[in-house]
Chains A and B, each alone.
Chain A
Amino acid sequence: MSSETQYCTFFVDGLLFGVEVLQVQEIMSEFVVGRVPLAPPTIAGLINYRGQIVTAIDMRKRLDLPPSTVPPARMLVVRCNEETFALLVDKIEDVVAANPKDFEEAPENVNESARELVEGAYKLADRLLLPLRLEKIAAIAN
C-alpha cells in the first residue's frame, strides 16, 4: 500500500489547490504587501516574514485566473529550492491526506501553461484537489 501524501489545501477562484505539507512553513492571515515597482505582474510584492523579506506571489495572476475585487486574504509561506516565498490565496482549507490511487494526470483539455503548474488531480469525494508543482510556481519568467 503506497503511502498517502499530505496536502495543505487552499482556494483560489473557487478551485481547490494543494501544496505538500512539508513545504509549507506557516499560514498567515495578517500581512502587509509592499509593492515592488518594475516587478513582473505575478509578483504581488514583498512581505516582512518575521524579519525575513520574502517575495509574495499573487496566485490568481500566477495561475492565470480572473482577478478578484477582494484582495487575497491568506498567505502561505512556503519553502522550495532553498528559497522562502509566499503564496497569496483566497481561503485556506484543511490538510488533506491524498491517496495515490485517486490521482490522475491532468486531462488533455487542460491548457499548456496550467499543465506545467498543476501535477494533475486527486479525485476527492466531493471535489477535485489540484496539487501544485511548487518549483514551477517559483520559476517566474523574468
Chain B
Amino acid sequence: MFRDLLGHRKFSSILGASVSGYKPAKCLTSVIREFYKSSVLNCIGPFLSRDKDCGHGSDISPVDEIVREFLIESNENLDRLDRNLVELEKSPRDQELLADIFRTIHSIKGTTGFLSFHHLEAVAHAGENLLSRLRDGLLVLNPAITTGLLAMVDAIREMLKLIESTEADGDNSYPELVASINALMEAPAKGDTVNAVAPVAIAAAAAPQTILAEAPMQAETIQTELSQAELSPVEPQFQRSGEDRRKQDIPVDVERRSGKDRRESSADSNIRVDVSLLERLMDLVGELVLTRNQIVQFAAAQRDSSFSSASQKLNLVTSDLREIIMKTRLQPIQNVMGKFPRMVRDLAIACEKQVRIETTGQETELDRTILEAIKDPLTHAVRNSVDHGIETPAVRLAAGKPAEGTLSLRAFHEGGQVNIEISDDGAGIDPERIRAKAIEKGLITTQQAERMSQHEIISLVFKPGFSTAAKITNVSGRGVGMDVVRTNIEKIGGTVDIQSVPGQGSTVRMKIPLTLAIIPVLIVRSAGQRFAIPQVSLLELLRLEAGRKDQSVEMVHGAPVYRLRGNLLPLLFLGRELKQTSNNANSGLTNADQLTIVVLQAEGQHFGLVVDEIHDAEEIVVKPLGQHLKHITAFSGATVMGDGEVALILDIVGLAKGGRLLTDAKKAAMQEALSARKSEAQSAEVETQELLLFRTSRGRRTAVALSSVDRLEEFKVSQFELAGQKLVVQYRGQLLPIVNLSDKFDTVQNESTDELLKVLVCHHQGERIGVVVDQILDVAQEAVSIQERWKDGQSQGSAVIQKQVTDFLDLNTIIASVRGGAMFSENSSFPENLAFAEAAQ
C-alpha cells in the first residue's frame, strides 16, 4: 500500500511537470489527468496496484489504456535516447542534448513510478542520477558512461517488452546494471579503477547485445560491486528519488525556458491516428478517384456546362485529396535510419573498429509499408559496410587513411523515387576476390568471368549464396546478405546497385518507390483484355513492322528471340503465356501485320513481352487479388480502370518465371544467349552445356555449343558464290563466309543447283560463319569433358555425348582459317599449321 502511495506522489509530480508544458510526457499526462479527476475520490492505492486480485476488476481498463500509451511513448523515447546518446558521445558538452536525454529518462522514471513498475523505475532512476551528474558538470561523458547508459536503455526496453506481454516488469531488477551505473557515478571520487571496471560490469548486465572486451578484468572490485548491489534493496532508491527531484526540478525548469517553444508547438499540432484508419481512408480515396474518373468521362460526353465545371472541380479536389491522404502515410526515413548510429556504434566496438556515421536527408519521406520493407535490407547493407567495408584502425593508418572510418547514409528524392546511398571509405571490393570466389562457388564459369566487366563482377555479390567474408562473424559472412537485400528491394519495386573502388570504399545505391498503393503502369492489351505493366520493370517499347519483322524475330531452338542492338532478347508472347491464344509456335510471328514488344527487366534479366496493343501510361490503385487467384504467379494484383472494368496487373518476375526465363538452369543458358556475340564455342571445362549435335562428312558425329549457333538455315546450292577465293552466301544483306563440312557439297560448281543444304549460322569472336553439315541430329544438355587427343583442324577434341563419341567443332580454328584467307578445301580438312593454340587452356 505504501508503495502505491509513493507512486501517487510521483504521479502528482508528473502532473506538475505537464502543466508547465513538459513535452515527452504530455500525451500520457493528459490521460492521467482525466483519470486522476475521475478517481481521486477512490482509494488510490489498490486502484493503481498492478495486482490482479485487488478486486477492482472493472476499473482495470483505464489503467491498461495508460500502460498502452506509456509503452508507445516510451518506445519512441527510447529510440530517440539511442540516437541522442550516440550523438552526445560526439559532442559531450552539448547541454541541450543532455537536457533532452535527461528529460526523457526522467519522464520514463516518473511514469513507471506512478504505474508501480518498480524494477523499471529503479533502473531508470540510476540512469537519471548519472545523467544529472553529467548535466551538472560533475562528470564528463566517456565511452564507459555512454555504454552504461545504452545498457540501461536496453534494460528498459527489455522490461517494456515484458510489460507488454505480461503486464508486469518481471523479477529482474538488474542489480548489476544499477550497481555499475552507480559505480560510474562515483568515478571522480574513486579514480581510474572504477572507470575501467564499469564497462565489464555493464557488459555482464546488458547481456548479449553489448560486447566489450577491452576493459581489463578487475575481479575483486566487480565482486564487491555486485555483492553490494545484491544487498541493497530497491526500496531505498525511492526514498532518495523524492529528494533528488527537488534538487533537479530547478534546472529542468531553466532548461525549459531556454528556447523549447518550437518543440512544444509541434507537440501541440500532432495527434496519434490509428494506422488502420489511414488505410481505410486510403481505400476510400482510391474508390473516389475511380468514381471521379467515371464522372469525368461521363461529363466529357455531356453538353451541360455547369455539370462539366462541377466535374472539373471534383477532378481537382480529388487529386489534391489523394495527394494529401498519400502524405499521411508517409513517414520520415529517420524512423529506420535513426536506429543506425546506435547499431553502428555497437558493431564497431564488436569488430574493434572506429566508425563515424554521417546521415543526411533523414527527413526524406516514404510510405510506411515501404519503410517497413526496407528496414532489413538497409540494416544488412549497413552491417556489411561496417563488417566488410571499413578496415581496422591499424590497416587504415597503414593505408594512409584516418583511423576512424566514415559510413555515410544519404537519402533524397529524385524523379519520383527515393534514393538511398550507403557509402563507406573502407577497403572497397576487390573484383579479383569476387571473381575467384564466384568461380569457386560455381556461380559462374571461368569463361563467363572473362567476359564480365568489373561492375558486373562486383554485382555478383547480389547472387544467392555469395559471401566473401574470410571468417564467419556474428555480424555477417553467412552467405545470406546482399542477395536478400536485392530480393527485398526488388519485391517492393526498387532497384539496388553497388559500386566500389578498391582501397577507397564502396557505395550501395537503392532506388525505392514512394508508395506501393498507387503505381504508374503501362496499359497493354492482349486478346481483347487489358493488363497493367508496372513502369518500374519497363525498359522500352518496340514496334516491328511487317516488312522487317520476319527478319527480326528469330528462333533459337524453338525459342523466339529478337536481335536488339546486337543482343538477343528472349521473347514471350503474352497471349500464349496467359493461355489466351493457341500454343501454335508460329502464331503471332506471321499473322499480325506488326509486332509490339514491351522490353522488360526482371531480376536483372531482360526480355521482350509481345502484346497486341499498347494503351496509355496511367497511375493505378493497386488492389490485392482474392485467395482464389493468389497462386497465379503471372499477376500481382488488380485495379479498376476509369470505365469501371477490372484490369489485372502483371507480375513481371512471375511471368518471366512462368515463361521459364528465370528457372535456374535456363537462366544460365539465357545468360549465355544474351552475351552470345561474345561467347566462345569451345569449352574444356566439365560443365553442363546445351549442345547442337549434327553429322558432318564421312558420318562424323559432331557437336557445337548451342549458344554459338544463331540459326539453322537451308540454302540452295546455287546460292553459294565465290568472293575472292572464299565461298560465301548472301545472307541478310551481308556476305556469310561458308565452311563446308558436308559430303553432299562436293564442289562449288555443283550442277544440281536446287538441292538444299543445311547450314549452321554460327558466330565466334564477333564473326559469323556458315557451316555446311550433312544432317542435324539433336540438342543435348550434358556435362562433357573433352579429350583432346584426337583433335584435328575441324574438331578440338572428342567427348562422349548421349553415349556416343562425338567431335567438338573447333570454331576458333575454322574462323581463323577463313579470316586468314586459307583456300577453301574440298575435302574439308584444314592445314594443321593453322590450328590455333587452345584459348581455353
Contact = CB atoms under 8 A, between A and B. Distances in A.
A72 to B, nearest CB: 17
B632 A36 contact: yes
Given A51-B286, A51-B287, A52-B623, A34 B629 contact: no
A53 interface: yes
A65 B290 CA distance: 36
Interface residues of B, number: 27
Contacts of A142: 628, 631
Contact of A37 (B578, B626, B631): B578
Interface string B644-676: 111110000000000000000000000000000
B132 to A, nearest CB: 53
A38 interface: yes
Contacts of A55: 625-629
Nearest to A142: B631
B634 interface: yes
B646 A47 contact: yes
A46 to B, nearest CB: 4
A37 B646 contact: no
Contact of B578 (A38, A40, A52, A83): A38
Residue of B283, B286, B578, B629 contacting most chain A CB atoms (<10 Å)? B629
A53 B272 CA distance: 30
11 contacts: A34-B648, A39-B628, A45-B646, A46-B646, A51-B283, A51-B291, A53-B626, A53-B639, A55-B626, A55-B629, A83-B627
A35 B638 CA distance: 12
A39 B645 contact: no
A85 B626 contact: yes
Interface residues of A, number: 25
B690 to A, nearest CB: 28
B580 interface: yes
Contact of B638 (A37, A38, A46, A138): A46
A73 interface: no
Contacts of B283: 51
A40 to B, nearest CB: 7
Leading 6 A-B pairs by shortest Cβ distance: A51-B287, A37-B578, A34-B646, A55-B626, A46-B646, A53-B623
Contact of B645 (A32, A52, A138): A32
A16 interface: no
A78 interface: no
Which of A32, A43, A53, A140 has its CB near the most chain B CB atoms (within 10 A)?
A53
A54 B579 CA distance: 22
Contacts of B578: 37-38
Given A34-B647, A48-B640, A40 B628 contact: yes
Contacts of A37: 529, 578-580, 634, 648
B627 A51 contact: no
A127 interface: no
Interface in A29-76: 32, 34-40, 43, 45-48, 50-55, 57
A48 B627 CA distance: 16
Contacts of B626: 53-55, 83, 85
B629 A48 contact: no
B526 to A, nearest CB: 9
Interface of B: 283, 286-287, 290-291, 529, 578-580, 623, 625-629, 631-632, 634-635, 638-640, 644-648
B541 to A, nearest CB: 22
A96 B286 CA distance: 37
Given A36-B629, A36-B635, A43-B628, A48 B644 contact: yes
Given A46-B646, A50-B287, A51-B640, A39 B580 contact: no
A43 B646 contact: no
Given A37-B580, A85-B626, A140-B628, A53 B640 contact: yes
A79 B646 CA distance: 20
A48 B646 contact: yes
A134 to B, nearest CB: 14
B623 A35 contact: no
B628 A34 contact: no
B576 to A, nearest CB: 10
Contacts of A45: 646
Interface string A99-142: 00000000000000000000000000000000000000010101
Contacts of B625: 46, 53, 55
A26 to B, nearest CB: 15
A32 B644 contact: yes
A40 B626 CA distance: 13
A47 B529 CA distance: 14
Interface string A8-39: 00000000000000000000000010111111
Nearest to B529: A35
Nearest to B621: A51
